[in-house]
Amino acid sequence: MAEAEAVPAVRELTYVRAINEAVRLVLAEQSTAFVAGEDVAGAGSVFGYYAGLLKEFGPERVFDTPISEEGIVGLGVGAAATGLRPVIDIMFMDFMGECMDEITNQMAKMRYMFGGAATLPITLLTMSGAGMNMAAQHSQSLEAWLCHLPGLKVVMPATPYDAKGLIIAAARDDNPVIVALNKMSLRFKGEVPEAAYEVPIGAANIVRRGENFTIVTYSRMVHEALQAAQELAELGVDAEVIDLRSLQPLDSETVLASVRKTHRAMVVHEAVRFGGLGGEIAAQIQEHAFDDLDAPVGRVGAPFSPVPFSPQLEKSYVPNAAKIVAEARRLLGA
């Protein structure tokens, strides 16, 4: 009797380990790549996702910078324009206020203003989101700022698989790509192949198929939306959940195809609801699929307030599955 073939074990990594593996593979693959930022070398970053890279690749390719976000981005722009492929780190998304001139007027514009003669293969990693009681200056989700700037690509991975694949895709791209990670996702586990692979920038992922309600979301809210979809199923609502993954460029076709099937839609994000990406997505749905809608497009986002420090207030502030279910019930008249 022939022996049964061994089934290979599923390889799982945490989100933080997937980030580390992606950057390590980028440095190994690209001799002109380097990592620069505050505390990325000796400390491996405050969240640990560059741990071990200094020892493996040396101080010429993984190095700490002064505490100057403007200087870090300026370094990245200059290095990329002269033939290198920098991976630069802005510790918290909130700190982009310190370097928005470099991002807005240099990083996003240089390739256009040089008629394509200069390429800017910059990968910028940063950390977004609330939930760790880090208060108003370390907890924001400011992706709408970045998506409003022509010349930038913006991705926000929800899973370890997508974190690794999107970082590698960003590092191989000849345009500046901002990878906004999520601090509350660092311990999430998921299947991650060992080899290098890309998750295509600009392609959404349908993480749950459904027939009569569409939830469009990204980053940590994907997990809240999936939980909400389970609760809605008990009410007879079969919700489809779309993880955008890429915010700029935006995969509008996947969203519109889903809405044309389900006839109802809601957009969910952790960022402040007013002026958030949800407004743009809702507008596109109503422009291109208005006749398919059986109800207005719903939106769930944070209230128009700085992120509170108090754990209880912060918990109340951040959108969650219960708020998604409540908005769905309102739209359904249930």
First CA to last CA distance, the chain: 59
Active site residues: 138
Q: Which long-range contacts (CB under 8 A, 24 or more apart) does 207-211 make?
A: 207/241, 207/242, 207/243, 208/239, 208/240, 208/241, 209/240, 210/238, 210/239, 210/240, 210/241, 210/262, 211/238, 211/240, 211/261, 211/262
Distance CA 201, CA 219 (A): 14
- Say if CB 178 and CB 155 are below 8 A apart: yes
Query: DSSP code of 106?
Result: I
Show the 3-state SS of 3-63: CCCCCCCCCEEEHHHHHHHHHHHHHHHCCCEEEEECCCCCCCCCCCCCCCHHHHHCCCCEE
Distance CA 44, CA 7 (A): 35
- Say if CB 86 and CB 76 are below 8 A apart: yes
Residue 74 tokens, joined: 């300026």
The phi and psi torsions of 284 (rounded to 5 degrees) equal: -65, -40
Q: Which of 268, 278, 256, 272 is nearest to 323 (CA)?
A: 268
- Say if CB 102 and CB 73 are below 8 A apart: yes
Collapse the DSSP code of 164 into the 3-class scheme (helix H, G, I; strand E, B; otherwise coil) and give the result: helix
Q: Which of 217, 87, 96, 215 is nearest to 145 (CA)?
A: 96
Using only C-alpha atoms, the chain has a radius of gyration, in whole angstroms, of 20
